[in-house]
Amino acid sequence: MQGRTPCVLGFAPHSGWTVVVIVGGVPAAPRVLLRERVELVDAPPAGLKQPYHEIEGRPLPEARQRLALSEESANRLALGALRSLTQAVHVMGAEARAAGILASSGRVGATLEATLASHALIHTADGNHFRDALGHGCEALGLPVTRVTHKDLTARASVTLGKSPQALAATLATLGRGLGAPWGADQKAAALLAWLLL
Question: pLDDT, tens digit, for every residue of 62-84?
Answer: 999 999 999 999 999 999 999 99
Mean pLDDT of the chain: 92
Question: pLDDT, tens digit, for every residue of 157-186?
Answer: 999 999 999 999 999 999 988 888 889 999
Query: What is the C-alpha separation between 46 and 152, in angstroms, rounded?
Result: 34
Residue 22 has pLDDT above 80, yes or no: yes
Longest CA–CA separation in the chain, Å: 55
Query: What is the C-alpha separation between 55 and 67, in angstroms, rounded?
Result: 8
Closest CA to 7 of 99, 131, 79: 99
In CATH, the architecture of 5-197 is 2-Layer Sandwich (3.30)
pLDDT band for position 45 (50/70/90)? low
Query: In the prediction, which pLDDT does 1 show?
Result: 44
Supply φ then ψ for residue 93, to 5 degrees.
90, 15
